[in-house]
Amino acid sequence: MKRVTTVDDLRRQLAVWRGAGDRIALVPTMGNLHAGHLELVQQARQLADRVVVSIFVNPMQFSAGEDFDGYPRTLDQDIIRLSDAGADLLFQPGEAEIYRRPLENETLVEVPNISDILCGAFRPGHFVGVATVVCKLLNMSQPNLALFGEKDYQQLLVICRMVEDLSIPVEIRGVPTVREEDGLALSSRNSYLSLEERARAPSIYRVLRETASAIIGGDKEYHRLEQMALSRLAEAGLKPDYFVIRRAQDLGVPAPGDEELVILATACLGRARLIDNLKLSAM
């Protein structure tokens, strides 16, 4: 696997591959790679000739008081995992390569409405940081396609909307969430959980599944289902930020007749903020 740290070197290598007719996939990450990220690389290998992975812990998407400084950085281990997974190129820029100016003077990309609800309401500015860095990474590498995990479902929709609105010539692919055997969605932040918290963490997926079963069974009282789920999460010792049933396409509140739904939940457990979702068809 090749490794580059500058946009010039990235573009030089990509020009060679593009010149040979290769199709290029980008997998943007913040490192601390787990099986969920490696699944993105596997999918990318099936869809493209060359797989580029970026590792950049993006300061712009962390609010003051969040875990930017303590975010797990495991570069040596990440490099071994990416080589074993068959990535062709690691783009590992320093902060000055991505942001040429102090962050407050940078041009921002803001995707309205969808960025301010759910996680965006609890993490003001988070999705501006995500959209801005993803826009930059797409412009720097100009891939044919880019892959993102469906675990961060709202992030995926923000990125799709940005690509559509800004006419960025790239195909965005969502890849299904990879889970532990007990259902816990893989996340870099799971490493913050103590043993006792880890044992309680799968309750978020269990409550998502129970709610999905109720909807599939014909229960349409979504507000009541949301309230019941919040109580169940609290009983399991989690502190939920939200548990909502929304339209899968745009996260709007479902109207009668809307069938493609997504249930989204976020809850704090110790130092970790767990996030998960489940898509379903309410026929």
Q: Compute the distance between CA of residue 106 and CA of residue 108 in angstroms, rounded to an integer.
A: 6
Distance, CA of 65 to CA of 156 (rounded, Å): 24
For ligand PAF, what does the binding mask look like between residues 56 and 95, x meaning CB under 6 A? --x--x----------------------------------
> Catalytic annotation on 37?
yes
Q: Which amino acid is at 54?
A: S
Q: Is 28 a residue that touches ligand PAF (CB under 6 A)?
A: yes
Question: Under the criterion CB under 6 A, does residue 154 sit at the interface with ligand PAF?
Answer: no
Burial class (CB in 10 A: 0-12, 13-18, 19+), 76: exposed
29 scored as a contact of ligand PAF (CB under 6 A): yes
Q: Which amino acid, residue 151?
A: K
The contact pattern for ligand PAF, residues 200-219, with x = CB under 6 A and - = no contact, is --------------------
Q: Which is nearer to ligand PAF, 133 or 261 (CB)?
A: 133
Instruction: Specify whether the CB–CB gap between 175 and 247 falls below 8 A.
Output: no
Beta-strand relationship, 145-149 and 24-29 = parallel
Which residue in 133, 138, 175, 280 binds ligand PAF (CB under 6 A)?
133
Nearer to ligand PAF, 28 or 254 (CB): 28
Give whichever of 14 and 30 is closer to ligand PAF, judged by the CB atom: 30
Decide: residue 6, CB within 10 A, 0-12 exposed, 13-18 middle, 19+ buried. middle
How many chain residues touch ligand PAF (CB under 6 A)? 10
Q: Is 96 left (phi over 0), alpha (psi -120 to 50) or beta?
A: alpha
Question: Please, what is the minimum distance in Å from the beta carbon of residue 202 to ligand PAF?
Answer: 21
Enumerate the active-site residues.
37
Residues at the contact surface with ligand PAF, assessed by CB under 6 A: 28-30, 58, 61, 130, 133-134, 152, 155
